[in-house]
Amino acid sequence: MKQAWLYVLPWDIGFPGGVNQVVINLINTQKKTQTLTPKLLIDQNSGNANYIASTPVDYFPLTNPCWSPGILGIVKYLIKLPFLLFRLYRYIGNDVQCINPHYPTLNVLNFVLYKKLGFYVGKIILSFHGTDVVSIKKTVGFEKYLWHFIFQHVDFMACCSQKLADELNDYVDNSVEGKIKVIHNGIAEQIIKAATANSGVLPMELDNSRFILNVATFERKKGQDILIRAFAKIRVSVSPIKLVLIGRSTDILINYRQLVSQLDCENDVVFIENLEHQSVLNFFRKANVFCLPSRYEPFGIVLLEAGYFSCPVIASNVGGIPEIIEDGYDGCLISPDNIDELANKLIDLLNNSDMAEKMGRRLRNKVIKTFTWDIAASKYLNLLSNN
């Protein structure tokens, strides 16, 4: 039997979001290359079973000593641990060559103990995506101790950007720094081609309209409020123009709608919630500018997707974004929280189509050559032979 690569997620694969897109694309790539058989494990309480690329999703009850406070949590965990390890033994057996939790929680302690007790000889690779590292750095006391124990006993820690790797390096003990590896996210060109084979229909209000596009979960760190304010400053001078904001709905969305109303630009701002990924891709193809004014951004897969469609990009000079965008060559970088700078860059690109097209073409060339899931999957696979 071909050996397996076990992906682990702390939530249901059906939820929209960047981490799930990473896992889905890695699974698709592994199935295409037929290197290892991908499997996916999710906490049993996460939701109903789904299937990704004909890969069954298994639900498994994971826990850790910090689910209940103090000594009680430790006692409860120790009582459950033998039964949990036995279930892991029956599930993992001898088929799994790599256990790869993405956006790891303290539940990965179960896999570490399973290996440390001699039941498993394969690799454990933790994959970090951004706010998971932020959360870990805030832990204290026993929880912090457990994370450092985990870091000592996993084989590798993969980060989606050098900037995120630097953040993690600053936190971990010197003895484990060599375990931290950078594996950039990518795009799946064949999947994008298939998804956009038909041009798709945009909302009626965008028919024949120029528009600025933003695709991100509606949350403060993504900076949509900055983009809305910058758009309000320029919309008359570059009219006709619209702003399209696509993302997973959150509580902050009502604030953004109120902001649009206060700035008197309801007729020119379009909110689209919880749109499936394949439908989002058609917006990249038709947008005049893509803008990602994030306050915090570990990487930014949406920048790769915009680049694939040669869409000119403006993004904040934060996190892993400068690892994708070279300012003034294949995109524009701005300071976070700077409304005036963003407004000026939008005017520059919207009024200079030649410059915008050149930047878009250059970014497309970079994305196709440098940022693919084939490259990312190959780097993950190489870790199996890296000691």
Q: Model's pTM, two decimal places?
A: 0.89
Both tokens of residue 155? 């084989």
Is there a single domain that holds both residue 143 and residue 229? no
Is there a single domain that holds both residue 25 and residue 174? yes
Is there a single domain that holds both residue 345 and residue 199? yes
Q: Domain holding 235: CATH number?
A: 3.40.50.2000
Residue in this structure with the two tokens 């009626």, named with its chain if needed: 204
Q: What is the pLDDT of residue 204?
A: 77
Query: Residue 23 in 3-state DSSP?
Result: helix
Task: Give the phi and the psi of residue 92 in degrees, each rounded to 5.
Answer: -80, -45
Q: What is the pLDDT of residue 107?
A: 94
Domain count, the chain: 2
Is there a single domain that holds both residue 307 and residue 243? yes
Pairwise CA distance, residues 58 & 52, whole Å? 11
Is there a single domain that holds both residue 90 and residue 210? no
- Residue whose C-alpha is closest to residue 31's, from 382, 374, 380: 374
Is there a single domain that holds both residue 230 and residue 124? no
* 82 cis-preceded (ω within 30 degrees of 0): no
Mean pLDDT by 10 residues, the chain (387 residues): 86 81 91 86 62 70 88 93 93 92 96 96 96 95 96 97 95 90 91 70 81 96 98 94 95 98 96 88 94 96 96 98 98 98 98 97 97 95 87
Contact 334, 199 (CB under 8 A): no
Q: Which domain holds residue 211?
A: 194-370
Q: What is the pLDDT of residue 50?
A: 53
- Residue whose C-alpha is closest to residue 35's, from 387, 383, 386, 377: 377
The runs of H, that is alpha helices, within 121-213 are 131-137, 141-153, 162-171, 189-195
Contact 313, 307 (CB under 8 A): yes
Is there a single domain that holds both residue 361 and residue 377? no
* Angle (deg, nearest 10), helices 141-153 and 109-116: 50
Is there a single domain that holds both residue 89 and residue 106? yes
Is there a single domain that holds both residue 134 and residue 156? yes
Both tokens of residue 203? 């909302």
How is residue 185 annotated by DSSP? -
Is there a single domain that holds both residue 310 and residue 283? yes
Is there a single domain that holds both residue 157 and residue 200? no
Q: What is the pLDDT of residue 88?
A: 93
CA neighbours within 13 Å on the CB side: how many for 363?
35
Is there a single domain that holds both residue 201 and residue 108? no
Question: Cβ atoms within 10 A of the Cβ of 247, count?
Answer: 23
Handedness of CA 326, 332, 338, 344 (dihedral sign): positive
Contact 270, 242 (CB under 8 A): yes
Beta bridge partners of 98: 5, 123
